[in-house]
Amino acid sequence: MPSAVIDARNVQLTLGRAPARVEVLRGIDLSVGDGDSVALLGPSGSGKSSLMAVLAGLERASAGEVSVAGLDFSALDEDALAVARRGRIGIVLQAFHLLPTMTALENVAVPLELAGEADAFSRAAAELAAVGLAARTGHYPAQLSGGEQQRVAIARALVGRPALLFADEPTGNLDTATGSQIMDLLFERQRASGATMVVITHDPALARRCARVVELADGRIVADRRAA
Contact assessment for residue 177 and residue 183, using Cβ atoms and an 8 Å cutoff: no
Applying CB under 6 A, which part among 48-56, 61-69, 149-157, 203-211 lies near ligand ATP? 48-56
Interacting stretch for ligand ATP, rule CB under 6 A, among 14-22, 117-125, 146-154, 185-193? 14-22
Choose one: 31-39, 46-54, 135-143, 183-191; the region binding ligand ATP (CB under 6 A): 46-54
Chain-centroid distance, C-alpha 165: 4
Contact 56, 89 (CB under 8 A): yes
Q: Which of 33, 45, 64, 132 contacts ligand ATP by CB under 6 A?
A: 45
200 in Cβ contact with 49 (< 8 Å): yes
Query: Which of 41, 42, 56, 174 touches ligand ATP (CB under 6 A)?
Result: 42
* Sequence-ordered list of residues with C-beta below 8 angstroms from that of 215, at least 6 positions apart, any chain: 40, 41, 42, 221, 222, 223, 224
* Residue placing its CB nearer to ligand ATP in the complex, 148 or 169: 169
Residue range at the interface with ligand ATP (CB under 6 A); choices 16-24, 27-35, 72-80, 100-108? 16-24
Q: How far is the CB of 40 from ligand ATP (least distance, A)?
A: 8
Does position 172 interact with ligand ATP (CB under 6 A)? The reply is no
- Interaction mask 18-37, ligand ATP, x per CB under 6 A: ----x-x-------------
Are the CB atoms for 11 and 28 separated by under 8 Å? yes
Residue (44 or 101) nearer to ligand ATP, CB: 44
The residue range among 15-23, 65-73, 88-96, 140-148 that interacts with ligand ATP, by the rule CB under 6 A, is 15-23
Contacts with ligand ATP by CB under 6 A: the residue count is 12
Whether the Cβ atoms of residue 11 and residue 63 lie closer than 8 Å to each other = yes
Residue selected from 37, 38, 48, 154 as contacting ligand ATP according to rule CB under 6 A: 48
How many angstroms separate the CA atoms of 77 and 84, rounded?
10
- Select from 8, 11, 32, 49 the one that contacts ligand ATP (CB under 6 A): 49
Say which DSSP state 47 is in: S
* Residue 212: how many other CB atoms lie within 10 Å: 17
Residues 6+ apart with CB under 8 A from 39: 199, 200, 201, 206, 207, 210, 212, 213, 214
Tell me which residues touch ligand ATP (CB under 6 A): 15-16, 22, 24, 42, 44-50
